């Protein structure tokens, strides 16, 4: 048996995808022009699939901070925090994120993936229990492959399902760590966090929440779902990323646990990788200041969410369950999703296409992510384009039929 034979099924699916002419997994942005525009296939394209929720990738103050940091401290650290030392900016960034959440400790990681991978796999030990939402991100699942704890899944966003599993553990010794996400990345839905926290309190379980997609977007100060739900103090570990709202790359975990810093010498995804370069640390610190200083970006983001979500809903599209910075558009199958995606690209609009096995319940999706600096005109135009393609593909009822009330 050849090395790649076991991927035969996946290869076949991938071949299907490429028959559309474009390969969505190898899309090339020939030139990125702004948070919302790029040249793709030679034409200017509207970007609605970048997770760039506040549009800070081109914020002049963040860009300047990064440039200054390169001039002052060079392009990279060329080593890990543990073996090669921290720059004072790493420490300052950690202090600022801890302060942002009102927590005592913060650890910064080189990517958000590594933050989840390292923290989750290490927190729970051999006799402990990890309870994860069924729709968890790949980084959480990968952490579960590395952990020595016993891992049990509960039904997505279902506190009763979690409770049943905590109850079944009975009086078995061992810590319980429950892993949740603020906003789920495929359908843009939020966890019923308050209910989850109540269940966790009842059973003495620790709560770890990944606010990757909710940092900036949710809560009065943009701290995420934990702030919006009023349970910041009940979330023992908050993980997040610099690669979405903060416009760079990196991850973090904050906590009030007095012994939290032991993770610096136990989490291998922290210990054995190079630390973030000075430019990234500087732009992230500045981006965090922007998030604090400009709450209007959050308002703009949610206005844009409403424009796209309500616009598509009114046309008859099947969407994720609630407004969110990610808007997932359900399509009947993989090939329709790929064809629809390609038609949108031909019309100058870039979104993400998500097909099994990357999606929950085997659904095929167009995954749109909004940006605070999209204009209403751009999004109205997008709804029009998608409506036209939707009719062509038979995903939406024909206009005349609809007018006649025959569906």
Per DSSP, helices labelled H in 74-204 are: 81-84, 88-101, 112-123, 138-146, 159-169, 193-202
Give how far Cα 201 sits from Cα of 70, 179, 205, 236, Å: 46, 14, 6, 11
Query: By CB under 8 A, how many residues form the interface with other proteins?
Result: 19
Q: What phi, psi does 188 have (nearest 5°)?
A: 75, 15
| Stretch binding other proteins (CB under 8 A), from 44-52, 168-176, 193-201, 203-211 | 168-176
Is position 205 an interface residue for other proteins (rule: CB under 8 A)? no
Among 29, 61, 76, 153, interactor with other proteins by CB under 8 A:
153
The secondary structure of 81-110 as a DSSP string is: HHHH---HHHHHHHHHHHHHHT-SEEEEES
Q: What is the DSSP letter of 207?
A: E
Would you say how long the chain is, in residues?
407
> Which residues ranging from 341 to 360 are in contact with other proteins (CB under 8 A)?
356-357, 360
CA-wise closest residue to 166 among 192, 202, 126 = 202
Choose which of 2, 42, 60, 170 interacts with other proteins (CB under 8 A): 170
C-beta closer to other proteins: residue 16 or 398: 16
Binding residue for other proteins, selected from 38, 65, 144, 389, defined by CB under 8 A: 144
As a whole number of angstroms, the distance between CA 118 and CA 121 comes to 6
Q: Kindly tell me which of 155 and 221 has the beta carbon lying closer to other proteins.
A: 155
Return the range that interacts with other proteins (CB under 8 A); candidates 84-92, 152-160, 189-197, 284-292: 152-160
Least separation in angstroms between CB 168 and other proteins? 5
CA distance 116 to 81: 18
How near is the Cβ of 143 to other proteins at its closest, in Å?
12
C-alpha 77: how far from chain center? 26
List 48, 108, 151, 301, residue binding other proteins (CB under 8 A): 151
Stretch that binds other proteins, among 147-155, 293-301, 302-310, 323-331 (CB under 8 A): 147-155
For residue 165, state whether it binds other proteins (rule: CB under 8 A): yes
Binding span for other proteins by CB under 8 A among 99-107, 113-121, 158-166, 304-312: 158-166
| Nearest Cα residue to 86 out of 261, 328, 303 | 261
134 counts as binding other proteins under rule CB under 8 A: yes
Does 376 participate in binding other proteins (rule CB under 8 A)?
no
Could you tell me which of 333, 262, 285, 243 has the C-alpha nearest to residue 98?
285
Out of 32, 70, 92, 169, the only residue in the binding site for other proteins (CB under 8 A) is 169
Question: Which residues contribute to the site for other proteins (CB under 8 A)?
Answer: 134, 144, 150-155, 161, 164-165, 168-170, 356-357, 360-362
């Amino acid at each position: 048996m050849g090395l790649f034979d076991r991927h035969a099924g996946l290869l076949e699916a991938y071949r299907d995808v490429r028959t559309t002419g474009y390969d969505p997994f190898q899309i090339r942005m020939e030139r990125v022009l702004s948070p919302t525009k790029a040249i793709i296939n030679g034409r200017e394209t509207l970007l609605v699939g970048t997770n760039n929720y506040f549009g800070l990738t081109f914020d002049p103050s963040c860009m300047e901070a990064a440039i200054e940091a390169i001039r002052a401290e060079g392009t990279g650290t060329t080593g890990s925090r543990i073996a090669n030392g921290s720059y004072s900016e790493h420490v300052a960034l950690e202090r600022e994120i801890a302060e942002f959440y009102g927590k005592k400790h913060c650890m910064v990681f080189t990517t958000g993936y590594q933050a989840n991978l390292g923290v989750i796999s290490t927190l729970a030990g051999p006799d402990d229990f990890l309870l994860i939402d069924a729709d968890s991100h790949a980084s959480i699942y990968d952490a579960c492959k590395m952990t020595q704890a016993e891992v049990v899944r509960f039904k997505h966003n279902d506190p009763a399902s979690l409770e049943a599993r905590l109850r079944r553990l009975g009086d078995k010794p061992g810590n319980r760590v429950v892993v949740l996400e603020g906003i789920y990345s495929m359908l843009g839905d939020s966890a019923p966090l308050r209910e989850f926290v109540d269940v966790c309190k009842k059973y003495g379980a620790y709560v770890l929440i990944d606010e990757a997609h909710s940092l900036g977007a949710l809560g009065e100060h943009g701290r995420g779902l934990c702030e919006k739900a009023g349970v910041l103090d009940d979330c023992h570990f908050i993980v997040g990323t610099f690669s979405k709202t903060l416009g760079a790359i990196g991850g973090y975990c904050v906590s009030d646990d007095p012994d939290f810093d032991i993770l610096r010498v136990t989490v291998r995804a922290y210990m054995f990788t190079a630390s973030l370069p000075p430019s990234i640390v500087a732009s992230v610190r500045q981006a965090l200041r922007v998030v604090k200083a400009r709450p209007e970006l959050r308002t703009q983001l949610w206005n844009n969410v409403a424009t796209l979500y309500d616009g598509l809903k009114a046309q008859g599209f099947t969407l994720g369950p609630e407004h969110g910075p990610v808007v997932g558009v359900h399509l009947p199958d993989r090939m329709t999703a790929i064809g629809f995606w390609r038609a949108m690209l031909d019309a100058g609009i870039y979104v993400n296409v998500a097909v099994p096995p990357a999606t929950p319940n085997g659904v095929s999706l167009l995954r749109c992510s909004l940006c605070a600096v999209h204009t209403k005109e751009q999004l109205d135009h997008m709804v029009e384009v998608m409506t036209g393609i939707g009719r062509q593909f038979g995903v939406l009822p024909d206009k005349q039929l609809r007018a006649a009330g025959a569906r």
